[in-house]
Amino acid sequence: MTAQDGSASLRPMGSVTSLYLRKVVAAVGGTGGPAYLRAVGLDPDARADVATMIADTAYYDLLERIARDLPNATDMALRVGATMRCDDYGAFGLAWKTAPTLRDSFRRAARYWRVLTSVAEFEVRPEGPGAWFMLNRAGARRLGLRLSNEATLASALTIMREVAPGAVQPLEVHLRHPAPGASAPHAGWFGGPVTWDSDRDGLLLSGELIDRPNRLGDAGLSAYLDAQLDVALDRVRGAGDDLPSDVRRAVERSLSDGVPELARIAAAMGRSERALQRALAAEGISFRGLVDRVRQDLAEGLLVNSDYALAEIAFLAGFSEQSALTRAFRRWRGVPPAAFRAARRGG
């Protein structure tokens, strides 16, 4: 179900703030904007509301439709990113802007990402004195998801440049999907080469940059906004959230780094380890069993629907080596993975 802006509704299972779609429509221009918005149940004449959500699949579908309608969609995501401003994001954006430093802005994004979407999360991963600002989003790398990831990182860099004094230049820019036909616009926008087909979606920033005081940094106001966002986060968690599905998505995003520990998943979800363990137990679910099922589902999906080698599938499913995947598959299905693939593909 989709909602008109300003209405009260439960969020779809996979959801994205409608703000992103309104920014896409505004950035690409043209006369088709109202029709695009109506296609997902949004009122073209209503004001933008960051709290109004649309289904993630509808969002990706519409991004792909808009890209097909454009003469050249190569820089579409960059144009969207350039239009973003902190104030567009409500309390989330104000908390980003008033955080004492960019490092503190990143931490707020990592804690409160759930008020913007249920299908992607922000992560801060230290790298020496600096840090990676990471975007984690599970799912097939369809065009809509790829465009969304590019737009999200471009938007993040735009609001970094809005709040931090001086030049804001990433040391590295990485995207997990292949380069589009012409990637020169991306190098120009981000200020340097982009690494495509990477193992991550993220921006690497220097310690000197992320520890500069933000232009409007205000510790007192920032703390007040944190309290407001805590309330919003609790409201989102109570609005029809499916905890097992949320944990599954968090585990999927972590598997390429190995088997995730409960503490890491809890931190990514903004919960304590003990609280998450209790919540899963209340639903009759063990974390270890859930992780095992996620790995099985992912491995089976890749075997049937991709041409990845077994060693690559083992890595993506969090196994240290191919032989570990084979042992797990014999436990799951009673046959090795190659035999399972051949049987499912009829060959």
How does pLDDT run across 313-331, given as a tens digit for each residue?
888 888 989 999 999 999 9
CATH 1.10.287 fits 15-210, yes or no: no
Angle between helices 243-254 and 273-282 (to 10 degrees): 130
Which CATH number is associated with domain 242-347? 1.10.10.60
Q: DSSP alpha helices (H): ranges in 33-182?
A: 33-39, 56-69, 76-83, 91-98, 102-112, 143-163
Structure tokens at 251: 């585990």
Q: Cite the residue boundaries of each domain of the chain with CATH code 1.10.10.60.
A: 242-347
Q: What is the pLDDT of residues 74-92, one digit of tens each?
A: 899 999 999 999 988 888 8
Below-50 pLDDT ranges, the chain:
1-12, 240
Q: How far apart are CA 169 and CA 193, in angstroms?
A: 12
pLDDT, position 32: 78
Q: Cite the residue boundaries of each domain of the chain with CATH code 3.90.1520.
A: 15-210
Q: Are 175 and 225 in contact (CB under 8 A)?
A: no
Helix (H) or strand (E) holding 263, with range, is: helix 262-268
Helix (H) or strand (E) holding 213, with range, is: none
